[in-house]
Structure 1
Amino acid sequence: MSNVLLVDDDSETIGWLSEFIKGEGYTVATADSLRAARIHLTRSTPDVVLTDLMLPDGLGIELVDELESRDTTEVVVITGHASVETAIDALRSGATDYLVKPVDIERLRGILQRIPKTEHFRQEIGELRNELRKLGRFGHILGSSPPMHRLYDQLSRVAPTSASVLLIGESGTGKEVVAQTIHDLSRRKRHPFLPLNCGAVSPQLVESELFGHEKGSFTGADRQHHGFFERANRGTLFLDEVTEMRPDLQVKLLRVLETGTFMRVGTNEHIATDVRLIAATNRSPEKAVAEGRMREDLYHRLNVFPIYLPPLRERGTDLELLAEHFLAELNEQEQTNKRFSPAAIAALYAHNWPGNVRELKNYVHRAFILADDVIEPDHAPENFLQKSHSSVITIRVGTPLDEVNRRVMEATLMECGNVKRKAAEMLGISLKTLYNRLAVYNAGKELYDEEDAEEFAGGPGDDEDRVSNNGVQ
């Protein structure tokens, strides 16, 4: 049976809340001060700490630091001094949710129902972290670069909480995939995940989509419609391009976040909802506030836990990992065995990818259709090749030397139009050594040009020992 630690210095509040929580099927321990709560936490780890914000000897939020496992214990703050600022401060300090006095019973019931099986939840997070180390992926997200490791750490910390999340990143960086991953790692994963792109829906229809409408509330409303806040109850609502929402709707969105209630268009009846909100924007939210496109109070309410999504150009070898992943998916679907040539890989690194992962996925699909067996640079759109054609290579500090050498070789091949003799001359190595290195990078693939084949009856090239001095190993 799950257990709750209730911390409050008001005996009447302790009494009725204890009875309610027991009636919901949970065991309850109580404490009337920080000191008493800390003593209890040394003896056991509750599933939920329900604490008043203002206690005789300090702030209830201080208990977050006393927990052995912040991944599996919810800290819910109760405050009689409700404001956006106090709620945000509590959530940023580590609380997973907050309640305003007098306590809304339905909201409290929803919080209790989200209590996970502690051991199972801990095991699931651990398994995902192991998957990341082995396969370079985290849930729905693929990538093993340092920026992605930082992203995974943030996701694993915020997902188990009820905090609002603001995803900030360029178009095409995978904000909806990240939002889905947060939902799947949360205590709400068995309930709906609903995405809505605020910029793709007519401004006149966004309100109806969010809050629903009653029959006859406007022309064309021939039936009652349940909006996203109603359908996503107990789940997660993802609002993309939130800065595109009309200012009057931003006020209504803020009201839902603060009160947990909304009204359908055409009625004054308040409907309760328990929804976790994840918002996203490809703009600078601070600039949107300064320009009057986004209300400052809504921004602060959404910005409880901001997460920056790195663009593809900052993700190093994730570029090749993703390209190979997309190609493998297409090969599986079509029962083919197509592959990238070294020159095509080099072309990927030379491109800036302003459209990020979305652009890469589209490129791979197009190249897959055009290629017979091997994808070459000329299978890319003409404007892609014009942007990519450059003798300058950008390499991040800390890139392994083997990877640096590989990129230099492949970029040189691309610069030479995949003429290997010319590439070998530019690199200062023999043609045989070039082929040996390409064989290492492309194990098991036929690499020899017909006109060069007669030269390779022997063993390794005679310049193997001096290759590293020319920068290609």
Structure 2
Amino acid sequence: MTQPAPERILVIEDDRALNRLLIEQLERLGYAAQGAGGRAEALAALAGFRPALALLDLRLPDTDGLQFLPELREYCPVIILTAYGSIDQAVQVVRAGAADYLVKPVSAQSLELALKRFFDTASLLRDLAFWQAQARRGRDAELVGTSPEMNDVRSLISLFAGTEAPILILGEGGSGKELVAHALHARSRRSNGRMISVDCDGGLPAAELFGEMRESSGHQISRHEGLIAAAEDGTVFLSGVDRLAPDVQAKLLRTIETSTYRPVGSSVSLPSAARFILSSNLAPEDIAPEGGARNELLFRLSAFTITMPPLRARPGDVAVLAESFLAHRSFQRSIPKRFSPAALSALTAHDWPGNVRELRNAIERGIIMSAGEEVIEPGHLGLAAPKSKSAPGREGAQVTLTFALPPGMDELRDAYLQLLLDRYGGNRRRIAEILQISERNTYRLIQKLPPSQDAS
């Protein structure tokens, strides 16, 4: 695994001797440092050096430090240096947004303490949300189930976790793909690093993922770091990655293959030490459909794939999951709760189109609706009445097709397929269940629809 680079610090001080002294002190402390004599030199340095912190003198030849402070803070935190120390001035610069305040001449000890305090605090703040999320997840982060399908998933996690290869996780919505991603990260050599999880279902701007550069006073400066930079040498998990725009997918694939990325608006590629885990709701056979260049990213990464089975494919795990959700609920813990045999039977009989997420919601509803009662009954769970397994999608619905003339077989097939597309909003998985054929064959039938009918 790539070792993290030393933190970079920009020293903005017009006294060249003091500037050089501060740089030497910083380098002895293990930091990477670069100097600038004023605002213009600082702006020029920001683009290529990309500091994590700036030391800023209040008295500069081409600007006043307090006036420059708000502009500089857009790119990195700032510690003020001044020879005119007073409590009033310290309060002024902190209120203006400075991270700290040091009075010149700065001793090596006070500089070391200030930097340690700053980077320790920054690290704690960066990690706070991650650890809070981990604590909230609790036992939910465990892959619960003893079915052969779940044992296969665990075997692949153990096999892939120790590699540096990007991993593709496939499965229906709510099936637990994010749990697989967390398990991969937790068992990898990057487990002490951050795991940044991003939902791409609504589309993800390239600037959010790769960062962005902008022009300021003729210089290209980092506007903000993207998620890849924020992950450092940890893991980036992108959920619903097939929903990314094609150009973003292409940039992401290039990043994964070359371990470099280019911020939006920049002509310079930067190194990436992050590992990527991607997920998609697509079925394996739909990763590279005919003419589907949009999914080239998934196709290229399909060598290391884990497919999370839907809950209906492992009914033996339903009761185990339900008991786990009940035991580790975060509310009404003072009231003992258990399922009646009828409730467990109802849970096992349900087909769970929403998978594990739907099951968890049903258990939470059962806990609430049972109120002060100890036993959760079927009526508390809010489950729909069982549906006939023999005729999926035909729950008493009537189908009417109208033709001016008696139709041929192809015309009849196309009209029925179009009706299903309209009724089920183009959901190929649902239509495939009704037609009792594979999703790939369903896709091919849709592609053959006359242009005027093609609703896909």
The TM-score normalised by the length of structure 2 is: 0.50
Q: Over residues 276-333 of structure 1, what are the superposed CA-to-partner deviations in whole Å (9 max), with x where a residue is unaligned?
A: 1111111125424325555464234321211111111122321101101111122776
Name the structure 2 match of 1:338.
337
The answer as to 2:308 corresponding to 1:309 is: yes
The answer as to 2:379 corresponding to 1:378 is: yes
Question: What is the CA–CA distance in structure 2 between the aligned matches of 1:259 and 1:163, rounded to whole Å?
Answer: 12
Conserved 8 A contact 1:262-1:270: yes
- List aligned pairs for 1:47-126, cutoff 5 A: none
Structure 1 stretches lacking a partner, 5+ long: 1-136, 392-473
The answer as to 2:155 corresponding to 1:153 is: yes
Name the structure 2 match of 1:406.
none
The answer as to 2:351 corresponding to 1:349 is: no
The residue identity in structure 1 corresponding to 2:144 is L
Q: Over residues 188-239 of structure 1, what are the superposed CA-to-partner deviations in whole Å (9 max), with x where a residue is unaligned?
A: 1111111111113xx4x5211210113569xxxx982211111112111111
Name the structure 2 match of 1:71.
none
Question: What is the CA–CA distance in structure 2 between the aligned matches of 1:308 and 1:239, rounded to whole Å?
Answer: 16
Name the structure 1 match of 2:280.
281
Question: What is the CA–CA distance in structure 2 between the aligned matches of 1:170 and 1:335, rounded to whole Å?
Answer: 35
Provide closer, same or farther for how the CA distance between residues 327 and 237 of structure 1 changes in structure 2, counting only shifts above 3 A.
same
The TM-score normalised by the length of structure 1 is: 0.49
Name the structure 2 match of 1:214.
213
Provide closer, same or farther for how the CA distance between residues 389 and 349 of structure 1 changes in structure 2, counting only shifts above 3 A.
farther
Name the structure 1 match of 2:256.
257
Q: Tell me, what secondary structure is at the counterpart of 1:181?
A: helix
Q: Over residues 251-291 of structure 1, what are the superposed CA-to-partner deviations in whole Å (9 max), with x where a residue is unaligned?
A: 11111012111111122121100121111111125424325
The residue identity in structure 1 corresponding to 2:154 is Y
Q: Over residues 19-66 of structure 1, what are the superposed CA-to-partner deviations in whole Å (9 max), with x where a residue is unaligned?
A: xxxxxxxxxxxxxxxxxxxxxxxxxxxxxxxxxxxxxxxxxxxxxxxx
Name the structure 1 match of 2:226.
227
Provide closer, same or farther for how the CA distance between residues 225 and 338 of structure 1 changes in structure 2, counting only shifts above 3 A.
same
The residue identity in structure 2 corresponding to 1:271 is L
Question: What is the CA–CA distance in structure 2 between the aligned matches of 1:162 and 1:327, rounded to whole Å?
Answer: 36
Name the structure 2 match of 1:169.
171
Conserved 8 A contact 2:161-2:185: yes
Q: Over residues 109-161 of structure 1, what are the superposed CA-to-partner deviations in whole Å (9 max), with x where a residue is unaligned?
A: xxxxxxxxxxxxxxxxxxxxxxxxxxxx9972111111111111111111011
Structure 2 stretches lacking a partner, 5+ long: 1-138, 391-456
Question: What is the CA–CA distance in structure 1 between the aligned matches of 2:296 and 2:172, rounded to whole Å?
Answer: 23
Conserved 8 A contact 1:243-1:294: no
The answer as to 2:239 corresponding to 1:240 is: yes
The residue identity in structure 2 corresponding to 1:141 is L
Paired residue total: 247
Question: What is the CA–CA distance in structure 2 between the aligned matches of 1:210 and 1:149, rounded to whole Å?
Answer: 34
Provide closer, same or farther for how the CA distance between residues 333 and 301 of structure 1 changes in structure 2, counting only shifts above 3 A.
farther
Name the structure 2 match of 1:358.
357
Question: What is the CA–CA distance in structure 1 between the aligned matches of 2:239 and 2:196, rounded to whole Å?
Answer: 11
Q: Tell me, what secondary structure is at the counterpart of 1:187?
A: coil
Name the structure 2 match of 1:396.
none
Question: What is the CA–CA distance in structure 1 between the aligned matches of 2:168 and 2:205, rounded to whole Å?
Answer: 20
Provide closer, same or farther for how the CA distance between residues 183 and 390 of structure 1 changes in structure 2, counting only shifts above 3 A.
closer
Provide closer, same or farther for how the CA distance between residues 340 and 244 of structure 1 changes in structure 2, counting only shifts above 3 A.
same
Give percent identity, aligned residues only. 42
Q: Tell me, what secondary structure is at the counterpart of 1:290?
A: coil
Question: What is the CA–CA distance in structure 2 between the aligned matches of 1:355 and 1:174, rounded to whole Å?
Answer: 11
Provide closer, same or farther for how the CA distance between residues 271 and 355 of structure 1 changes in structure 2, counting only shifts above 3 A.
same
Question: What is the CA–CA distance in structure 2 between the aligned matches of 1:377 and 1:316, rounded to whole Å?
Answer: 17
Name the structure 2 match of 1:325.
324
The residue identity in structure 1 corresponding to 2:155 is D
Question: What is the CA–CA distance in structure 1 between the aligned matches of 2:387 and 2:299, rounded to whole Å?
Answer: 40
RMSD of aligned C-alpha atoms? 2.7
Q: Tell me, what secondary structure is at the counterpart of 2:254?
A: helix
Question: What is the CA–CA distance in structure 2 between the aligned matches of 1:212 and 1:319, rounded to whole Å?
Answer: 42
